[in-house]
Amino acid sequence: MRDESFVAALQPLLDRVGATVVDRDPQPDDVPITWNGSTIHVRVANDRDLSDGLARLIQSVETELGSSLAALSRTQKQHAVRLLEERGAFEMRRSAETVAEAMGMSRFTIYNYLNRVRVQG
């Protein structure tokens, strides 16, 4: 039997990474998480679902900044790239291209913004 308060505490993290709790028949790739004697199995998004994760990250930054990425000023776009980098968006394959498309600019500009973020720390 699973502890529902345990699942509720993990839910924001599960939502952020696109993972789900598996109620039956856990698979070898599922991640078991145990807390205070209660174990749940979590299924992490597979590769084809990662684009959904990037879309969620982009949407969360747009919500936070109050505008679509394309409508942001240059300074705001640089800030958005920083937020996306901090949240791991650029660890995903082809993410620079996806973010560039959402911002209405080239991927080379995104790489320049990323380099600036990474140098400044």
Domain extents in the chain = 4-44, 49-120
Q: How is residue 44 annotated by DSSP?
A: P
pLDDT given at position 61: 96
Secondary structure class of 32 (helix, strand, coil): strand
Looking at residue 113, what is its pLDDT? 97
- Quote the pLDDT of residue 115: 95
Distances (CA, A) of 119 to 12, 84, 107: 30, 16, 18
Give the pLDDT of residue 49. Answer: 54
- pLDDT at position 41 is 92
Contact 3, 35 (CB under 8 A): yes
pLDDT mean by block of 10 residues, the chain; 121 residues: 82 80 88 88 69 84 95 97 94 91 97 94 76
The predicted structure's pLDDT at residue 106: 97
Would the pTM of this model clear 0.75, i.e. be above it? no
CA distance 36 to 58: 35
